[in-house]
């Protein structure tokens, strides 16, 4: 078993989008005059471990169902047989446990005990995306997209700011919605790529349900509204650099790229999410609101 295989299983390419909401939340806390580097570091740790846990959990659940046998993209550990099922499951649970420990530390420090319930809901949402007898990731009614928007947008962003400033102004919710939509776009382009293989194995994602063309338009709308959210939350001209960052992925998706040709769009959408986090975070921290 090579280190490269473990890194592929962890899907490190997803991590920039995972930490992007924390950048936005830090910007919000700074705008409110309450930025704490220590609390922000813990929030980063929670986001990273939760995302890697999600990746290993999806690898395990999809692998035991056989839905990853013919997927396009990086090798999955369980489906390929490179690692035993129990090992992948153990990795997922270990990452969730690490996220829980850091999250508990953050909650105790901030004295925001009610956020323990939010953390438990986040872990449950991560597991039941593809885990359990009836995973909502296979329902095809948009629950996956909704959960991504809530937990990798609103909760991660507003939660990061709240444990530092104990405040959540309207502009913070708008900025959080923008990064949430960027995360939804990342999920959409991933599922657009997998429409053929998901259809074969009965994995009813939203993209499978509504079809290729409608999914691409939904991706475009999601990206455009995300850019608009950044401009509304910070300054109108913020739409310019945001649009520049969004354009490469948008062009690739709307030109009809398929299969492996969509891997570039997946990468560019992830980079857009990271750029959103950094630019919106700086905008909130430095611009007069």
pLDDT tier at 2, thresholds 50, 70, 90: low
Residue 210 CB-density burial (10 A; 0-12 exposed, 13-18 middle, 19+ buried): middle
> What is the pLDDT at residue 74?
60
Ranges 13-22, 177-186, 246-255: which has the least confidence: 13-22
CB-CB contact of 48 with 18 (8 Å): yes
Question: According to the model, what pLDDT value does residue 152 have?
Answer: 94
Higher per-residue confidence, 71 vs 106: 106
Q: Is the pLDDT of residue 56 over 80?
A: yes
**pLDDT score for 139:** 81
Which residue is associated with the tokens 């986001």?
A: 47
Six-digit token string for 55: 């990746």
pLDDT tens digits, one per residue of 6-20: 677 778 888 888 999
Q: Is the pLDDT of residue 70 over 60?
A: no
| Predicted confidence (pLDDT) at residue 3 exceeds the cutoff of 80 | no
pLDDT exceeds cutoff 70 at 68 = no
Whether the CA torsion 13, 178, 147, 114 is positive or negative: it is: positive
pLDDT the model gives residue 181 = 98
pTM: 0.91
pLDDT of 192 over the 80 cut:
yes
Averaged pLDDT of the chain? 90
The first and second tokens of residue 192, run together, are 């657009």
% of the chain beyond a pLDDT of 90: 69
- pLDDT value for 284: 96
CATH placement of domain 3-286: 1.10.600
Instruction: Decide if pLDDT at 78 tops 80.
Output: no
Please give the pLDDT value at position 27: 97
Structure tokens at 108: 């105790």
Do residues 42 and 100 lie in contact, with contact meaning Cβ atoms separated by under 8 Å?
Answer: no
> What is the pLDDT averaged over residues 247-259?
94
What's the pLDDT score for residue 208? 94
Distance of alpha carbon 248 from alpha carbon 233, whole angstroms: 23
Contact 96, 53 (CB under 8 A): yes
Is 14 or 124 the better-scoring residue by pLDDT? 124
pLDDT at 79: 61
* Cβ within 8 Å of residue 22, ≥6 positions away: 40, 43, 44, 47, 156, 157, 160, 277
- Mean pLDDT, rounded, for 165-193: 96
pLDDT of the residue at 254: 96
Q: Which of 134-148, 188-202, 236-250 has the largest mean confidence?
A: 236-250
* For residues 224-228, average pLDDT: 98
Can you give the pLDDT at residue 80?
A: 61
Instruction: Tell me what pLDDT residue 81 has.
Output: 61
Tokens in use for 72?
């396009």
Name which residue leads in pLDDT, 125 or 133.
125
Q: Supply the pLDDT for residue 5.
A: 65
**Which of 66-70, 132-136, 161-165 has the highest average model confidence (pLDDT)?**
161-165
Name the 3-class secondary structure at 255: coil
What is the DSSP track for 125-180? HHHHTT-SSS-GGGS-SSHHHHHHHIIIIIIHHHHHHHHHHS---HHHHHHHHHHH
pLDDT at 58: 86
How distant is the alpha carbon of residue 178 from its chain centre?
Answer: 12
């Amino acid at each position: 078993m090579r280190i490269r295989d473990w890194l592929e299983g962890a899907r490190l390419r997803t991590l920039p989008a995972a930490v992007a909401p924390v950048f936005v939340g830090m910007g919000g806390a700074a705008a409110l005059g309450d930025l704490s580097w220590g609390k922000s570091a813990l929030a980063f740790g929670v986001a990273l471990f939760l995302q890697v846990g999600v990746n290993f959990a999806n690898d395990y659940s999809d692998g035991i169902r056989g839905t990853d046998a013919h997927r396009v993209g990086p090798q999955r550990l369980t489906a390929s047989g490179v690692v035993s099922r129990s090992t992948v499951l153990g990795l997922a649970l270990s990452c969730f446990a690490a996220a829980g420990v850091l999250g508990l530390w953050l909650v105790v420090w901030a004295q925001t005990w009610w956020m323990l319930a939010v953390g438990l809901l986040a872990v449950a949402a991560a597991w039941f995306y593809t885990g359990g007898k009836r995973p909502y990731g296979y329902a095809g009614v948009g629950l996956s997209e909704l959960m991504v928007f809530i937990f990798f947008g609103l909760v991660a962003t507003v939660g990061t700011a709240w444990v530092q400033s104990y405040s959540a102004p309207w502009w913070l919710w708008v900025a959080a919605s923008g990064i949430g939509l960027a995360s939804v776009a990342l999920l959409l382009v991933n599922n657009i790529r997998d429409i053929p293989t998901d259809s074969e194995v009965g994995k009813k994602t939203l993209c499978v349900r509504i079809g290729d063309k409608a999914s691409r338009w939904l991706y475009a709308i999601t990206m455009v509204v995300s850019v608009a959210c950044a401009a509304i939350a910070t300054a109108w001209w913020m739409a310019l650099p945001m649009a520049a960052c969004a354009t490469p992925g948008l062009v690739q998706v709307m030109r009809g790229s398929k299969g492996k040709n969509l891997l570039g769009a997946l990468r560019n959408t992830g980079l857009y999410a990271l750029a959103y986090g950094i630019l919106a975070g700086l905008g909130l921290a430095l611009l007069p609101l």
